[in-house]
Amino acid sequence: MNDVIDDLLAKLDLAAKVRLISGSGVFRFAGDTGIGLAEMPVSDGPTGVRGELWDERDPSVSLPSGTALAATWDRALLGRIGGLIAAEARRKDVYAVLGPTMNLHRSPLGGRHFECFSEDPMLTAEIAAAYVDAVQAHGVSACPKHYVANDSETERFTADVIADERTLRELYLYPFERAVQAGTWMIMDSYNSVNGTTMTENALLDEPLKGEWGYDGVVVSDWTAVRSTGGAAKGTDIAMPGPWELWGAPLVEAVRTGEVPESAIDDKVRRILRFAIRVGALNGTPQQPPAFTDEAAQHLVREAAAQAMVLATNDGTLPLGKPAQVALLGAAAAEPRFMGGGSATVIPAHTTSPLEGLSAVLPVQYTPGVHLNDHMIAVPLALVTDPETGAPGLSLRYLDGDKVLDTEHRTAGGLMLFGNANAMVAKSFELRGTLRVDTAGEWRIGFAGVGKLRLDIDGETVLTETVMPDGADPVEMLLNPPQRWVTRTLAEGDELDVLIELAPVLDSGLPAMGLTFAVGRPRRAADEEFAAAVELARTSEVAVVVVGTTEQIESEGFDRKDLRLPGRQDELVAAVAAVNPRTIVVVNSGSPVEMPWRDDVAAVLLTWFPGQEFGSALADVLTGAAEPGGRLPTTWPKALTDVPVVDTKPAADNSLPYTEGIHIGYRAWLKSGVAPAYPFGHGLGYTTWELSDVTVTGHTATVTVRNTGDRTGRQVVQAYLSRPGSAVDRPVRWLSGFDLVEAAAGETVTATIDLPERSFQHWTDQGWVVEPGAFTLHIGTSVADLPLTAQIA
């Protein structure tokens, strides 16, 4: 391959080479027809493939998010999911998916916690490697991100993580090392700095990545992360989005003056050509992975969601059997979060809410009980028609003064014009629709967006305002912009002609624009609604309360401020539990939340952000058609005040010191001696297990596992190491390996756990070292439940 690459390189002049090392679009790598190199569209993201554009008319399968995937501890399932991601990528004509997200759960406040896998580097690495392997087996590139130490969002463009080499090697770099071993073709570097240098120019791109680990793939910048022309001498190979002005003509000049050596550019181009050969973009055709029918994709997402759900406690109320009547409560039951916010967003063709999923199989009566916040929602398609076509949806016009550049029929109330050619040239945007309300009462009608906005109702201007963003992060500004509205008292069936015009006034740094036609439905007064929910629970056989976070508190672009459930959700659960002993709480959050009522309810099921099939998977788990398969990939605290590592806010000099070193997650909890609500690795199923007889041969442990219950089940058998009497600062114990077993009622099977050499090593100035002496192996089903031990000399 190298000869071919050298021949092609020789055909490119300097300007052509520089063109190749930045994108030719927002989500597109440049091509060169002269050498037969196609342009290469790429797409977010980690849990679904949005495609090159952010457009509801081209929907995508929405998979469970990162924490959920890691909670399965199931490499084989990740293999099948990788196949689906590859199929989605090719269906959308993209060559690479920008995922998985492999930063660590250092603080539970981290805004992208939901998107990352785990607090443990080994679990992260294993899940990521299975993902990378499966996607790339079909000729589509993965792109593990963000290299490295991009573990929180506060001031993410400028934060300077200060971490010692051992901490970096053993924790934050380890998943990337494993992804390189798994053969990843692309890696994304991050916005932040590490030890004083921005990651797009950081020496960590040379060592260990490209040198010691022998990585021969491409390093792509995070979007807008390339900060200088001279930095092109360093390890980032492609600046995105493109064309990136700092790397255009100024870079050609910098090479001419000798500031940037041409050999550095050649190395980048070689890597890009190698990448292009791998994905079939150079004089070839990309591989075609086996396609998924809609049914097959839905089935896999539903299975994965159920496998990811963690049953934290259960007094035997679950599985439910056949209750005569179920009270379903909680705003999140009808309007759940299927995915986290930010660049990982995809637009699914259909979703199933808990209300829909449970109503299909159980005699459900529903009332929300609480309002999570005062945010309006994007106008539902069922309520709005495009005045141009008469079809459900809206009419979007791209304007340049009075000139109409284009008109589109859109089928979503919230639009995100990202990478869309018209959006880059239009001076203003106009969204029109006829709203027909389905309920009498006081409606809020308005918009969400940033810029100069105007709202007309029935031809009359009712609101104009120049709206500025609440936060500084461009992603937050696009995805979570401020809302404004007017109120109208309407009768059922009333129709209003609504027009919203937006003229951007700020340059977000991203060629993108977001605009939402938002509505707020009439709702009962808060106390009345609350009382109705409690009364319904009191008179029902079983109460299921779905609680969760919102996009305003858990998303890319900012960190959380606390771990509390928003609104009166805690109060609702407590009130419901007080009147119904069979209260099941379903938690719909991507990362830990405080659950002060957790010991007062019959069962707690953690569902994460489970993807589009949430409702059906939840119905499977609650009724017992499927076992909840998840085990915690991250510790769930009782309260934020107990959490050993919390801070995500850089100091005035931008530094964010990782003073805790190697002690994050359960390692830090073990060190502090405080018990969390639920420990790392914890999760119940619907059967019981007995573990016995550990045998260690070389670096493999085998364990006898017996299903002592009365139904088939799956168990994650976990192996941790400790090193009694060590001369080195170490965690009390740390994950070394795991195996997932399945057994029928009464059946005995063997778990086989690989214990990689790396898990015995620690990093020193001399490199990786195994401390002489015996290690103790601990086997069990969570970091806090390890009944079996063995010595490893």
CB of 88 to ligand BGC, least distance (A): 16
The minimum distance between CB 125 and ligand BGC, in angstroms, equals 19
Least distance between ligand BGC and beta carbon 222 (Å) = 5
From candidates 44, 155, 177, 627, binder to ligand BGC by CB under 6 A: 44
Closest to 705 measured CA to CA, from 687, 719, 695, 717: 717
Q: What is the DSSP letter of 169?
A: I
Chain positions 349 to 408 lying near ligand BGC, rule: CB under 6 A, are none
Instruction: Spell out the residues 6+ positions from residue 179 whose beta carbon is closer than 8 angstroms to its own.
Output: 102, 125, 128, 129, 132, 142, 144, 187
Helix ranges (DSSP H) in 60-120: 66-71, 75-91
Residues in region 64-103 near ligand BGC by CB under 6 A: 98
User: In whole angstroms, how close is the CB of 186 to ligand BGC at the nearest point?
Assistant: 11
d(CA 85, CA 77): 12
Residue closer to ligand BGC, measured from CB, 109 or 545: 109
Cα–Cα distance measured from residue 761 to residue 772, given in angstroms and rounded to the nearest whole number:
10
Tell me if 475 contacts ligand BGC by CB under 6 A.
yes
Contacts of ligand BGC in 240-269 (CB under 6 A): none
- State yes or no: residue 417 binds ligand BGC (CB under 6 A): no
SS3 8: helix
Q: Is 266 helix (H, G, I), strand (E, B) or coil?
A: helix
The single-letter code of the amino acid at 215 is Y
Q: Which position among 133, 189, 222, 559 bears the catalytic label?
A: 222
CB 153 → ligand BGC: shortest distance, Å?
9
Site string for ligand BGC, 112-151 (x = CB under 6 A): ---------------------------------x------
Give the residue with the Cβ less far from ligand BGC, 119 or 222.
222
Nearer to ligand BGC, 343 or 588 (CB): 343
Nearest to 292 by CA among 129, 80, 42: 80
Verify binding: residue 43, ligand BGC, rule CB under 6 A: no
Contacts to ligand BGC from residues 178-237, by CB under 6 A: 222-223
222 is catalytic: yes
Residue nearer to ligand BGC on the CB measure, 97 or 173: 97
**Across the chain, how many H-helices and E-strands are there?**
18, 38
The burial class, CB within 10 Å (0-12 / 13-18 / 19+), for 425 is exposed
Helix or strand (DSSP H, E) at 475: helix 474-479
Q: Is 727 exposed, middle or buried (0-12, 13-18, 19+ CB in 10 A)?
A: exposed
Please choose, from the candidates 357, 364, 330, the residue with its C-alpha nearest in 3D space to the C-alpha of residue 621: 357
List binders of ligand BGC among 317-346 (CB under 6 A). Answer: 343
Shortest spacing between CB 371 and ligand BGC, in angstroms:
30
Residue 675 CB, shortest distance to ligand BGC, in Å, is 34
Residue nearest to ligand BGC (CB): 343
- Phi-psi label, residue 592: left if phi above 0, alpha if psi -120 to 50, beta otherwise: beta
- The DSSP-derived string for 261-320 is -HHHHHHHHHHHHHHHHHHT-BSS----PPP--HHHHHHHHHHHHHHH-EEEEESS--S-
Q: What is the maximal distance between C-alpha atoms in the chain?
A: 82
Q: In 10 A of CB 183, how many CB atoms?
A: 16
| Smallest separation, CB 608 to ligand BGC (Å) | 19
- The Cα–Cα gap between 345 and 331 comes to 21
Q: Please report how close the Cβ of residue 191 comes to ligand BGC at its closest, in angstroms.
A: 7
Q: Which residues neighbour 206 within 8 Å (Cβ) at sequence distance 6 or greater? A: 234, 235
Give the binding-site size for ligand BGC (rule: CB under 6 A): 7
Gap between the Cα atoms of 102 and 550, Å rounded = 23
Q: Mark 4-33 with x for binding to ligand BGC (rule: CB under 6 A) and - for no binding.
A: ------------------------------
Say how far apart CA 469 and CA 308 lie, in whole Å: 35
Give the residue from 398, 328, 318 showing the smallest Cα distance to 366.
328
Contact residues: ligand BGC, CB under 6 A: 44, 98, 145, 222-223, 343, 475
Q: Which residues are catalytic?
A: 222
